[in-house]
């Protein structure tokens, strides 16, 4: 594959100037018209030797070498009440009206952004120089920062470029665009579906989709598409006290319908913009998540077991009895 070295970007065709300014004040590196990079809390902690993300414990992703990005930074098909990302759907759910940046250029621009965001840590006495130098060359791309990445029309080629550059990919979707996943020629190293409800009413009340009539139908279509994809698959439940922690057997049914490898239960955290919707009283603690996970395991139509948990991230990992070796290369 040949790569574009330069691209002339007319920023007026993407986010408006006020929105760009607000995001930059929040320490996002804006890449082109519609994309961005931001240092994850756990990337910073790993670089300073203070711990790693639960994704390292669960899946072997080293936080210092992980680049958190989005090719649809302020466009999303849902307006989830638990979303802490500021401006995550500020531009609505339609990216067809703007020109989409070339994926080969975009990936390199994101790496450049990651390096710029890391530059200030080079002189920090708490930072191991070798760890910092290695972090300049990300080995993993978490396409999970904000927005819905399946809205980016070059997602397939974006994944191909990442893989050609020797990086693994972790694609997070809300399941509103099943046809995009179905038509991918380049599958992510790990596909991650976020589920916020197990009935149409519960799902719609929490995710507030722009297209409520099709959102539940598309989520179920996504489960069926996932069942056909030959890659690592995770169903992640974002759980909110008093809102979606019921009908445990239905979450298990969704998991087996997708033929996923792992079922992850993670507690909602009242931070960022989510504080405007749910207070601390809606945050389940680890015991709440463990108790609900045990209910899922007990009421599952097929065998499931709890295989790991992370206290710092209030997350529990479940898998079938014959779960595969879970660490990424």
Helices (H), the chain: 17-25, 41-47, 54-59, 103-118, 129-135, 155-164, 178-182, 200-207, 212-226, 248-257, 286-299
Which residues, in sequence order, are bridge partners of residue 317?
264, 308
Tell me the helix, strand and coil percentages in the chain, rounded to 5.
40, 15, 45
- Band of pLDDT at residue 278, cut at 50, 70 and 90: confident
- Band of pLDDT at residue 280, cut at 50, 70 and 90: confident
Mean of pLDDT values over 187-209? 96
pLDDT at 4: 46
- Band of pLDDT at residue 81, cut at 50, 70 and 90: confident
- Band of pLDDT at residue 329, cut at 50, 70 and 90: low
Q: What is the DSSP secondary-structure string of 70-134?
A: ESSTT--SB--TT---TTTTTT-S--TTSPPPPHHHHHHHHHHHHHHHHGGGTT-TTS-HHHHHH
Are the CB atoms for 104 and 156 separated by under 8 Å? no
Which residues are CB-contacts of 179 (< 8 A; sequence separation ≥ 6)? none
Interatomic CA distance for residues 231 and 244, integer angstroms:
28
| CA-based nearest residue to 110, from 61, 66, 170 | 66
232-239/140-143 β-pairing: unpaired
If you count DSSP H runs as helices and E runs as strands, how many of each does the chain have, helices first? 11, 10
Which residues, in sequence order, are bridge partners of residue 236?
194, 264
Are the CB atoms for 236 and 313 separated by under 8 Å? no
Exposure string for 45-70, b = 16+ CB within 10 A, e = fewer: bbbbeeebbbbbbbbebbbbbbbbbb
Mean of pLDDT values over 232-242? 95
CA dihedral sign, ordered 82, 88, 94, 95: negative
Interatomic CA distance for residues 207 and 329, integer angstroms:
33
Angle (deg, nearest 10), helices 103-118 and 155-164? 60
Domains in the chain: ranges and CATH: 16-319 (3.20.20.70)
pLDDT at 1: 46
CA atoms within 13 A on the CB side of 291: 8
pLDDT at 59: 92
Interatomic CA distance for residues 55 and 95, integer angstroms:
30
pLDDT at 2: 41
- Band of pLDDT at residue 10, cut at 50, 70 and 90: low
More confidently predicted of 280 and 16: 16
pLDDT at 269: 81
Interatomic CA distance for residues 76 and 174, integer angstroms:
9
pLDDT at 3: 43
Mean of pLDDT values over 161-181? 97
Sheet holding 140-143, edge to edge: 29-31, 35-37, 66-70, 140-143, 168-173, 190-195, 232-239, 262-267, 315-319, 305-310
User: Over 70: is that where the pLDDT of 306 sits?
Assistant: yes
User: Over 50: is that where the pLDDT of 5 sits?
Assistant: no
pTM over 0.85? The answer is yes
pLDDT at 48: 92
User: Over 50: is that where the pLDDT of 120 sits?
Assistant: yes
pLDDT at 7: 62
Interatomic CA distance for residues 33 and 105, integer angstroms:
12
More confidently predicted of 183 and 60: 183
pLDDT at 270: 73
Are the CB atoms for 169 and 9 separated by under 8 Å? no
């Amino acid at each position: 594959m040949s790569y574009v070295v330069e691209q002339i970007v007319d920023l007026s065709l993407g986010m408006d100037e006020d929105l760009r300014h607000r995001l930059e004040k929040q320490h996002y590196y804006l890449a082109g018209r519609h994309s961005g990079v931001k240092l994850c809390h756990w990337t910073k902690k790993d670089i300073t030797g203070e711990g790693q993300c639960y994704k390292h414990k669960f899946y072997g992703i080293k936080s210092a070498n992980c680049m958190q990005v989005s090719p649809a930074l302020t466009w999303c098909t849902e307006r989830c009440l638990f979303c802490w990302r500021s401006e995550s759907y500020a531009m609505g759910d339609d990216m067809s009206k703007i020109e989409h940046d070339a994926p080969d250029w975009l990936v390199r621009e994101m790496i450049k952004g990651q390096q710029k965001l890391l530059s200030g840590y080079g002189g920090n006495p708490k930072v191991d120089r070798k760890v910092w130098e290695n972090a300049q060359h990300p080995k993993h791309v978490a396409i999970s920062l904000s927005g819905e990445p399946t809205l980016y029309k070059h997602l397939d080629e974006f994944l191909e470029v990442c893989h050609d550059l020797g990086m693994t990919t972790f694609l997070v979707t809300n399941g509103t665009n099943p046809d995009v996943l179905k038509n991918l020629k380049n599958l992510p190293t790990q596909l991650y579906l976020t589920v916020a409800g197990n009935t149409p009413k519960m799902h719609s009340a929490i995710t507030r989709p722009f297209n409520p009539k099709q959102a539940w139908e598309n989520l179920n279509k996504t489960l069926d598409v996932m069942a056909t994809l030959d890659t690592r698959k995770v169903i992640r439940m974002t759980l909110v006290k008093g809102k979606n922690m019921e009908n445990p057997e239905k979450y298990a049914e969704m998991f087996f319908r997708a033929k996923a490898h792992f079922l992850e239960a993670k507690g909602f955290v009242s931070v960022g913009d989510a504080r405007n919707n749910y207070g601390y009283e809606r945050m389940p603690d680890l015991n709440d998540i463990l108790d609900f996970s045990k209910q899922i395991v007990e009421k599952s139509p097929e065998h499931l077991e709890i295989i790991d948990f992370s206290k710092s991230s209030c997350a529990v990992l479940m898998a079938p009895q014959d779960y595969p070796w879970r660490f990424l290369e």
